[in-house]
Protein backbone atom coordinates (compact mmCIF):
# COMPACT_ATOMS: atom_id res chain seq x y z
CA UNK A 1 0.00 0.00 0.00
CA UNK A 2 2.76 2.42 1.01
CA UNK A 3 4.79 1.37 -2.12
CA UNK A 4 1.78 2.22 -4.29
CA UNK A 5 1.44 5.59 -2.58
CA UNK A 6 5.17 6.28 -3.06
CA UNK A 7 4.91 5.35 -6.78
CA UNK A 8 1.90 7.60 -7.17
CA UNK A 9 3.53 10.57 -5.45
CA UNK A 10 6.73 10.12 -7.52
CA UNK A 11 4.60 10.02 -10.67
CA UNK A 12 2.67 13.14 -9.74
CA UNK A 13 5.91 14.89 -8.70
CA UNK A 14 7.37 14.04 -12.13
CA UNK A 15 4.31 15.36 -13.94
CA UNK A 16 4.38 18.60 -11.89
CA UNK A 17 8.04 19.11 -12.86
CA UNK A 18 7.21 18.36 -16.51
CA UNK A 19 4.33 20.86 -16.47
CA UNK A 20 6.52 23.51 -14.84
CA UNK A 21 9.26 22.94 -17.44
CA UNK A 22 6.62 23.13 -20.17
CA UNK A 23 5.25 26.43 -18.87
CA UNK A 24 8.75 27.81 -18.36
CA UNK A 25 9.83 27.01 -21.95
CA UNK A 26 6.65 28.53 -23.44
CA UNK A 27 7.08 31.60 -21.20
CA UNK A 28 10.70 31.93 -22.34
CA UNK A 29 9.72 31.73 -26.02
CA UNK A 30 6.90 34.24 -25.53
CA UNK A 31 9.20 36.54 -23.60
CA UNK A 32 11.81 36.57 -26.38
CA UNK A 33 9.18 36.93 -29.12
CA UNK A 34 7.60 39.91 -27.33
CA UNK A 35 11.02 41.42 -26.68
CA UNK A 36 11.81 41.05 -30.36
CA UNK A 37 8.43 42.58 -31.22
CA UNK A 38 9.11 45.59 -29.01
CA UNK A 39 12.74 46.03 -30.04
CA UNK A 40 11.96 48.45 -32.89
CA UNK A 41 9.04 50.05 -34.69
CA UNK A 42 9.40 47.76 -37.74
CA UNK A 43 8.88 44.60 -35.69
CA UNK A 44 6.03 46.25 -33.76
CA UNK A 45 4.22 47.00 -37.04
CA UNK A 46 4.77 43.45 -38.30
CA UNK A 47 3.37 41.98 -35.09
CA UNK A 48 0.36 44.28 -35.30
CA UNK A 49 -0.23 42.98 -38.86
CA UNK A 50 -0.02 39.36 -37.68
CA UNK A 51 -2.48 40.06 -34.88
CA UNK A 52 -4.89 41.61 -37.41
CA UNK A 53 -4.75 38.52 -39.66
CA UNK A 54 -5.45 36.26 -36.65
CA UNK A 55 -8.47 38.42 -35.69
CA UNK A 56 -9.75 38.35 -39.32
CA UNK A 57 -9.34 34.56 -39.37
CA UNK A 58 -11.31 34.15 -36.14
CA UNK A 59 -14.06 36.56 -37.26
CA UNK A 60 -14.42 34.92 -40.69
CA UNK A 61 -14.75 31.57 -38.95
CA UNK A 62 -17.43 32.99 -36.67
CA UNK A 63 -19.37 34.64 -39.49
CA UNK A 64 -18.90 31.76 -41.95
CA UNK A 65 -17.02 33.86 -44.55
CA UNK A 66 -15.38 30.96 -46.36
CA UNK A 67 -13.26 32.83 -48.91
CA UNK A 68 -11.90 35.30 -46.35
CA UNK A 69 -11.10 32.40 -44.02
CA UNK A 70 -9.37 30.53 -46.86
CA UNK A 71 -7.04 33.47 -47.50
CA UNK A 72 -6.47 34.18 -43.81
CA UNK A 73 -5.59 30.51 -43.24
CA UNK A 74 -3.24 30.51 -46.18
CA UNK A 75 -1.57 33.64 -44.85
CA UNK A 76 -1.16 32.12 -41.40
CA UNK A 77 0.24 28.83 -42.80
CA UNK A 78 2.79 30.50 -45.05
CA UNK A 79 3.33 33.44 -42.72
CA UNK A 80 5.64 31.38 -40.53
CA UNK A 81 8.07 30.99 -43.43
CA UNK A 82 7.74 34.68 -44.27
CA UNK A 83 8.51 35.60 -40.65
CA UNK A 84 11.73 33.57 -40.69
CA UNK A 85 12.79 35.39 -43.86
CA UNK A 86 11.82 38.84 -42.52
CA UNK A 87 13.49 38.30 -39.15
CA UNK A 88 16.53 36.51 -40.51
CA UNK A 89 19.06 39.12 -39.19
CA UNK A 90 17.42 39.25 -35.74
CA UNK A 91 17.20 35.46 -35.51
CA UNK A 92 20.79 35.10 -36.65
CA UNK A 93 22.10 37.51 -34.03
CA UNK A 94 19.93 35.84 -31.37
CA UNK A 95 21.34 32.40 -32.24
CA UNK A 96 24.86 33.83 -32.45
CA UNK A 97 24.48 35.31 -28.97
CA UNK A 98 23.13 32.00 -27.71
CA UNK A 99 26.07 30.13 -29.22
CA UNK A 100 28.58 32.52 -27.69
CA UNK A 101 27.02 32.35 -24.25
CA UNK A 102 29.10 30.33 -21.86
CA UNK A 103 27.66 29.35 -18.49
CA UNK A 104 31.20 28.65 -17.24
CA UNK A 105 32.64 31.96 -18.34
CA UNK A 106 36.15 33.06 -17.41
CA UNK A 107 34.84 35.73 -15.04
CA UNK A 108 32.54 33.30 -13.23
CA UNK A 109 35.50 31.06 -12.44
CA UNK A 110 37.09 33.81 -10.30
CA UNK A 111 36.59 33.88 -6.56
CA UNK A 112 34.75 36.78 -4.90
CA UNK A 113 38.02 38.34 -3.74
CA UNK A 114 39.58 38.05 -7.17
CA UNK A 115 36.56 39.74 -8.74
CA UNK A 116 36.68 42.56 -6.20
CA UNK A 117 40.41 42.99 -6.79
CA UNK A 118 39.70 43.18 -10.53
CA UNK A 119 37.04 45.85 -10.00
CA UNK A 120 39.34 47.88 -7.75
CA UNK A 121 42.17 47.83 -10.27
CA UNK A 122 39.83 49.00 -13.03
CA UNK A 123 38.32 51.74 -10.83
CA UNK A 124 41.77 52.96 -9.75
CA UNK A 125 42.94 53.12 -13.37
CA UNK A 126 39.77 54.92 -14.45
CA UNK A 127 40.11 57.46 -11.59
CA UNK A 128 43.58 58.37 -12.79
CA UNK A 129 42.73 58.37 -16.50
CA UNK A 130 39.66 60.50 -15.85
CA UNK A 131 41.63 63.01 -13.76
CA UNK A 132 44.33 63.15 -16.43
CA UNK A 133 41.70 63.38 -19.21
CA UNK A 134 43.26 60.45 -21.00
CA UNK A 135 40.77 58.68 -23.25
CA UNK A 136 40.16 55.00 -22.53
CA UNK A 137 37.91 52.14 -23.55
CA UNK A 138 37.86 49.02 -21.36
CA UNK A 139 35.53 46.07 -21.96
CA UNK A 140 34.99 43.30 -19.46
CA UNK A 141 33.89 39.97 -20.89
CA UNK A 142 31.00 38.27 -19.15
CA UNK A 143 29.16 35.18 -20.38
CA UNK A 144 29.45 35.97 -24.10
CA UNK A 145 32.89 35.47 -25.57
CA UNK A 146 34.83 38.49 -26.86
CA UNK A 147 37.43 36.29 -28.60
CA UNK A 148 36.46 37.67 -32.04
CA UNK A 149 37.28 41.19 -30.87
CA UNK A 150 40.45 40.14 -29.04
CA UNK A 151 41.63 38.88 -32.43
CA UNK A 152 41.39 42.44 -33.83
CA UNK A 153 43.80 43.81 -31.22
CA UNK A 154 47.26 43.09 -29.87
CA UNK A 155 47.28 40.15 -27.49
CA UNK A 156 48.70 40.80 -24.03
CA UNK A 157 47.46 38.17 -21.57
CA UNK A 158 48.79 40.18 -18.64
CA UNK A 159 47.54 40.64 -15.10
CA UNK A 160 44.97 43.35 -14.56
CA UNK A 161 46.69 46.11 -12.63
CA UNK A 162 45.92 49.81 -12.54
CA UNK A 163 49.51 50.53 -13.64
CA UNK A 164 49.27 48.40 -16.79
CA UNK A 165 45.80 49.70 -17.65
CA UNK A 166 46.85 53.34 -17.34
CA UNK A 167 50.13 52.74 -19.21
CA UNK A 168 48.26 51.27 -22.16
CA UNK A 169 46.21 54.43 -22.66
CA UNK A 170 49.12 56.87 -22.41
CA UNK A 171 48.84 58.48 -25.81
CA UNK A 172 52.51 58.19 -26.73
CA UNK A 173 52.34 54.39 -26.71
CA UNK A 174 51.52 52.26 -29.76
CA UNK A 175 48.67 50.42 -28.03
CA UNK A 176 46.63 53.35 -26.78
CA UNK A 177 44.20 53.45 -29.71
CA UNK A 178 41.23 51.12 -29.52
CA UNK A 179 39.90 49.04 -26.68
CA UNK A 180 41.35 46.94 -23.89
CA UNK A 181 39.52 43.66 -23.37
CA UNK A 182 39.55 41.94 -19.99
CA UNK A 183 38.81 38.21 -19.91
CA UNK A 184 38.70 36.70 -16.45
CA UNK A 185 41.57 38.18 -14.45
CA UNK A 186 43.70 38.92 -17.52
CA UNK A 187 44.05 41.83 -19.91
CA UNK A 188 43.52 39.77 -23.05
CA UNK A 189 44.45 42.51 -25.51
CA UNK A 190 44.78 46.19 -26.21
CA UNK A 191 44.01 48.16 -29.35
CA UNK A 192 40.93 46.10 -30.22
CA UNK A 193 38.33 47.31 -32.67
CA UNK A 194 34.61 47.31 -31.82
CA UNK A 195 31.83 47.72 -34.37
CA UNK A 196 30.31 51.14 -33.61
CA UNK A 197 26.63 51.61 -32.95
CA UNK A 198 24.28 53.04 -35.56
CA UNK A 199 22.18 54.74 -32.89
CA UNK A 200 21.76 58.49 -32.91
CA UNK A 201 23.93 59.52 -29.96
CA UNK A 202 24.15 63.14 -28.81
CA UNK A 203 26.75 65.11 -30.78
CA UNK A 204 29.21 65.27 -27.88
CA UNK A 205 29.84 61.53 -28.17
CA UNK A 206 32.36 60.50 -30.80
CA UNK A 207 33.84 57.29 -32.15
CA UNK A 208 35.03 55.94 -28.79
CA UNK A 209 31.58 56.18 -27.20
CA UNK A 210 29.97 54.77 -30.35
CA UNK A 211 32.31 51.79 -30.17
CA UNK A 212 31.42 51.30 -26.49
CA UNK A 213 27.68 51.31 -27.18
CA UNK A 214 28.25 49.14 -30.27
CA UNK A 215 29.95 46.31 -28.37
CA UNK A 216 27.26 46.44 -25.69
CA UNK A 217 24.56 45.92 -28.32
CA UNK A 218 26.02 42.67 -29.62
CA UNK A 219 27.49 41.15 -26.46
CA UNK A 220 26.76 41.21 -22.73
CA UNK A 221 30.14 42.83 -21.98
CA UNK A 222 30.33 45.78 -19.59
CA UNK A 223 32.39 48.60 -21.05
CA UNK A 224 33.91 51.61 -19.33
CA UNK A 225 34.72 54.71 -21.41
CA UNK A 226 36.78 57.67 -20.28
CA UNK A 227 36.34 60.76 -22.40
CA UNK A 228 39.54 62.42 -23.48
CA UNK A 229 37.73 65.70 -23.93
CA UNK A 230 35.98 65.97 -20.59
CA UNK A 231 37.41 63.18 -18.42
CA UNK A 232 33.83 61.99 -17.86
CA UNK A 233 33.32 58.30 -17.24
CA UNK A 234 30.50 56.29 -18.80
CA UNK A 235 29.48 52.67 -18.65
CA UNK A 236 27.75 50.82 -21.46
CA UNK A 237 25.77 47.64 -21.16
CA UNK A 238 22.92 46.17 -23.22
CA UNK A 239 22.99 49.04 -25.73
CA UNK A 240 22.63 51.70 -23.01
CA UNK A 241 25.12 54.26 -21.83
CA UNK A 242 25.26 55.85 -18.39
CA UNK A 243 27.43 58.60 -16.96
CA UNK A 244 28.89 57.57 -13.62
CA UNK A 245 31.16 59.02 -10.97
CA UNK A 246 33.93 56.90 -9.48
CA UNK A 247 31.83 55.59 -6.62
CA UNK A 248 28.96 54.72 -8.91
CA UNK A 249 31.41 53.01 -11.23
CA UNK A 250 32.68 50.80 -8.42
CA UNK A 251 29.14 49.99 -7.30
CA UNK A 252 28.12 49.20 -10.85
CA UNK A 253 31.08 46.91 -11.49
CA UNK A 254 30.66 45.18 -8.14
CA UNK A 255 27.04 44.56 -9.00
CA UNK A 256 27.56 43.33 -12.56
CA UNK A 257 30.81 41.43 -12.05
CA UNK A 258 30.69 40.27 -8.44
CA UNK A 259 26.90 40.05 -8.26
CA UNK A 260 26.79 42.30 -5.21
CA UNK A 261 23.38 43.90 -4.96
CA UNK A 262 24.38 47.51 -4.48
CA UNK A 263 22.06 49.67 -6.58
CA UNK A 264 23.61 52.46 -8.58
CA UNK A 265 22.02 55.79 -9.10
CA UNK A 266 23.49 56.12 -12.55
CA UNK A 267 21.43 58.27 -14.80
CA UNK A 268 20.99 57.79 -18.53
CA UNK A 269 23.69 59.10 -20.83
CA UNK A 270 24.31 62.78 -20.72
CA UNK A 271 23.82 63.21 -17.01
CA UNK A 272 27.19 64.01 -15.56
CA UNK A 273 28.55 63.29 -12.13
CA UNK A 274 26.21 64.45 -9.46
CA UNK A 275 27.48 62.74 -6.36
CA UNK A 276 31.26 62.87 -6.56
CA UNK A 277 32.74 62.61 -3.12
CA UNK A 278 29.41 62.57 -1.34
CA UNK A 279 27.93 59.65 0.57
CA UNK A 280 25.87 57.37 -1.61
CA UNK A 281 22.27 57.90 -0.53
CA UNK A 282 21.11 55.05 -2.74
CA UNK A 283 22.79 52.25 -0.81
CA UNK A 284 19.74 51.42 1.18
CA UNK A 285 19.12 47.70 0.86
CA UNK A 286 21.91 46.50 3.16
CA UNK A 287 21.29 49.26 5.66
CA UNK A 288 17.60 48.53 5.63
CA UNK A 289 18.25 44.87 6.18
CA UNK A 290 20.55 45.56 9.15
CA UNK A 291 19.34 48.86 10.54
CA UNK A 292 21.50 48.88 13.72
CA UNK A 293 24.86 50.42 12.93
CA UNK A 294 25.41 48.45 9.77
CA UNK A 295 24.60 51.30 7.40
CA UNK A 296 27.22 53.49 8.96
CA UNK A 297 29.89 50.85 9.12
CA UNK A 298 29.18 49.80 5.52
CA UNK A 299 29.37 53.38 4.33
CA UNK A 300 32.52 53.98 6.32
CA UNK A 301 34.05 50.85 4.86
CA UNK A 302 33.22 52.01 1.36
CA UNK A 303 34.58 55.46 2.02
CA UNK A 304 37.80 53.93 3.32
CA UNK A 305 37.99 51.76 0.22
CA UNK A 306 37.51 54.73 -2.08
CA UNK A 307 40.23 56.63 -0.25
CA UNK A 308 42.51 53.64 -0.58
CA UNK A 309 41.87 53.56 -4.33
CA UNK A 310 42.48 57.32 -4.53
CA UNK A 311 45.85 56.90 -2.80
CA UNK A 312 46.65 54.01 -5.11
CA UNK A 313 45.78 56.13 -8.16
CA UNK A 314 47.86 59.04 -6.81
CA UNK A 315 50.90 56.76 -6.57
CA UNK A 316 50.82 56.02 -10.30
CA UNK A 317 52.60 58.70 -12.28
CA UNK A 318 51.64 59.20 -15.89
CA UNK A 319 54.13 60.96 -18.15
CA UNK A 320 53.47 64.67 -18.32
CA UNK A 321 52.36 66.24 -21.57
CA UNK A 322 51.90 62.86 -23.22
CA UNK A 323 48.87 64.21 -25.01
CA UNK A 324 50.94 66.94 -26.64
CA UNK A 325 53.68 64.54 -27.71
CA UNK A 326 51.35 61.97 -29.15
CA UNK A 327 52.39 60.25 -32.37
CA UNK A 328 50.24 59.78 -35.46
CA UNK A 329 47.42 57.49 -34.28
CA UNK A 330 48.29 53.91 -35.15
CA UNK A 331 44.62 53.13 -35.50
CA UNK A 332 43.90 53.86 -39.20
CA UNK A 333 47.25 52.36 -40.20
CA UNK A 334 46.17 48.98 -38.96
CA UNK A 335 43.38 48.93 -41.53
CA UNK A 336 40.86 49.57 -38.80
CA UNK A 337 39.49 52.88 -39.89
CA UNK A 338 37.72 54.99 -37.35
CA UNK A 339 34.21 55.30 -38.72
CA UNK A 340 33.46 58.91 -39.48
CA UNK A 341 30.09 60.27 -38.55
CA UNK A 342 30.54 63.90 -39.24
CA UNK A 343 32.21 65.62 -42.15
CA UNK A 344 34.96 66.87 -39.86
CA UNK A 345 35.75 63.38 -38.60
CA UNK A 346 35.77 62.08 -42.16
CA UNK A 347 38.28 64.75 -43.17
CA UNK A 348 40.40 63.98 -40.12
CA UNK A 349 40.49 60.27 -40.98
CA UNK A 350 41.51 61.11 -44.56
CA UNK A 351 44.30 63.40 -43.36
CA UNK A 352 45.55 60.73 -40.98
CA UNK A 353 45.50 58.11 -43.70
CA UNK A 354 47.40 60.41 -46.07
CA UNK A 355 50.00 61.07 -43.40
CA UNK A 356 50.29 57.36 -42.71
CA UNK A 357 51.00 56.73 -46.40
CA UNK A 358 53.59 59.47 -46.55
CA UNK A 359 55.19 58.07 -43.46
CA UNK A 360 55.29 54.57 -44.98
CA UNK A 361 56.93 56.00 -48.11
CA UNK A 362 59.76 57.54 -46.12
CA UNK A 363 60.45 54.46 -44.03
CA UNK A 364 58.47 51.43 -45.19
CA UNK A 365 59.48 49.13 -42.35
CA UNK A 366 58.63 51.59 -39.56
CA UNK A 367 54.91 51.06 -39.26
CA UNK A 368 54.94 50.41 -35.56
CA UNK A 369 53.82 53.20 -33.29
CA UNK A 370 56.92 52.64 -31.13
CA UNK A 371 59.15 53.79 -33.94
CA UNK A 372 56.92 56.74 -34.52
CA UNK A 373 56.96 57.74 -30.88
CA UNK A 374 60.76 57.67 -30.97
CA UNK A 375 60.62 60.11 -33.85
CA UNK A 376 58.33 62.27 -31.84
CA UNK A 377 61.07 62.67 -29.31
CA UNK A 378 62.89 64.56 -32.04
CA UNK A 379 59.92 66.79 -32.26
CA UNK A 380 58.76 65.60 -35.70
CA UNK A 381 55.51 63.93 -35.05
CA UNK A 382 53.29 66.23 -33.03
CA UNK A 383 49.75 65.57 -34.14
CA UNK A 384 46.48 66.82 -32.78
CA UNK A 385 44.16 64.15 -31.51
CA UNK A 386 41.34 63.15 -33.82
Ligand X SMILES: Nc1ncnc2c1ncn2[C@@H]1O[C@H](COP(=O)(O)OP(=O)(O)OP(=O)(O)O)[C@@H](O)[C@H]1O
Nearer to ligand X, 165 or 306 (CB): 165
Using CB under 6 A as the binding rule, whether residue 338 contacts ligand X is answered as yes
Site for ligand X in 46-65 (CB under 6 A): none
Q: Which of 193, 213, 216, 269 binds ligand X (CB under 6 A)?
A: 193
Q: Which of 127, 211, 241, 309 binds ligand X (CB under 6 A)?
A: 211
Q: Which of 107, 119, 137, 218 binds ligand X (CB under 6 A)?
A: 137
Nearer to ligand X, 174 or 196 (CB): 196
- Span near ligand X by CB under 6 A; candidates 71-79, 87-95, 221-229, 296-304: 221-229
Using CB under 6 A as the binding rule, whether residue 227 contacts ligand X is answered as yes
- Span near ligand X by CB under 6 A; candidates 45-53, 60-68, 223-231, 255-263: 223-231
Shortest reach from residue 379's CB to ligand X, in Å? 22
Using CB under 6 A as the binding rule, whether residue 174 contacts ligand X is answered as no
Using CB under 6 A as the binding rule, whether residue 353 contacts ligand X is answered as no
Nearer to ligand X, 264 or 338 (CB): 338
- Span near ligand X by CB under 6 A; candidates 91-99, 192-200, 267-275, 364-372: 192-200
Q: Which of 207, 235, 244, 266 binds ligand X (CB under 6 A)?
A: 207
For residues 209 and 228, the answer to whether their CB atoms sit within 8 Å is no
Q: Which of 208, 323, 326, 359 binds ligand X (CB under 6 A)?
A: 208
Using CB under 6 A as the binding rule, whether residue 386 contacts ligand X is answered as yes
Using CB under 6 A as the binding rule, whether residue 327 contacts ligand X is answered as no
Using CB under 6 A as the binding rule, whether residue 189 contacts ligand X is answered as no
Distance separating alpha carbons of residues 130 and 230, to the nearest angstrom? 8
Using CB under 6 A as the binding rule, whether residue 149 contacts ligand X is answered as no
Using CB under 6 A as the binding rule, whether residue 323 contacts ligand X is answered as no
Tell me the site size for ligand X, rule CB under 6 A: 21
Comparing CA positions, the residue from 217, 265, 258, 215 lying closest to residue 242 is: 265
Nearer to ligand X, 135 or 381 (CB): 135
Nearer to ligand X, 327 or 329 (CB): 329
Nearer to ligand X, 196 or 220 (CB): 196
- Span near ligand X by CB under 6 A; candidates 92-100, 138-146, 199-207, 301-309: 199-207
Using CB under 6 A as the binding rule, whether residue 120 contacts ligand X is answered as no
Shortest reach from residue 270's CB to ligand X, in Å? 13
Q: Which of 229, 272, 363, 377 binds ligand X (CB under 6 A)?
A: 229
193-223 core/surface letters (b: 16 or more CB in 10 A; e: else)? bbebbeeebeeebbbbbbbbbbbbbbbbbbb
Shortest reach from residue 338's CB to ligand X, in Å? 5
Q: Which residue is nearest to ligand X (CB)?
A: 206
For residues 345 and 206, the answer to whether their CB atoms sit within 8 Å is yes
Distance separating alpha carbons of residues 322 and 155, to the nearest angstrom? 24
Distance separating alpha carbons of residues 73 and 63, to the nearest angstrom? 15
Q: Which of 69, 142, 209, 323 binds ligand X (CB under 6 A)?
A: 209
List all residues 6 or more positions away from 286 whose beta carbon is below 8 Å from its beta carbon.
262, 294, 295, 298
Report the interface residues with ligand X, using CB under 6 A: 135, 137, 177-179, 193-194, 196, 205-209, 211, 227-229, 329, 331, 338, 386
Amino acid sequence: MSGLFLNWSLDSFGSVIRSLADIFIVWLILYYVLRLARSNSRTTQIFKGILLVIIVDALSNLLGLKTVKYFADMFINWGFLALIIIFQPELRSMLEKLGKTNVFSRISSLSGNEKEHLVDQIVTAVMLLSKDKTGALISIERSQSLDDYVATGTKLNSDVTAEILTSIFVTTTPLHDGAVIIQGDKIACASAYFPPTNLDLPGRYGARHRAAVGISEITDAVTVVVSEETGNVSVTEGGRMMSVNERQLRDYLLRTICGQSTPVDASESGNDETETGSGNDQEEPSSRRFPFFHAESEQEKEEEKMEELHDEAARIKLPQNHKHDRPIPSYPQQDRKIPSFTEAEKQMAEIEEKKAHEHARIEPESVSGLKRSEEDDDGKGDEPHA
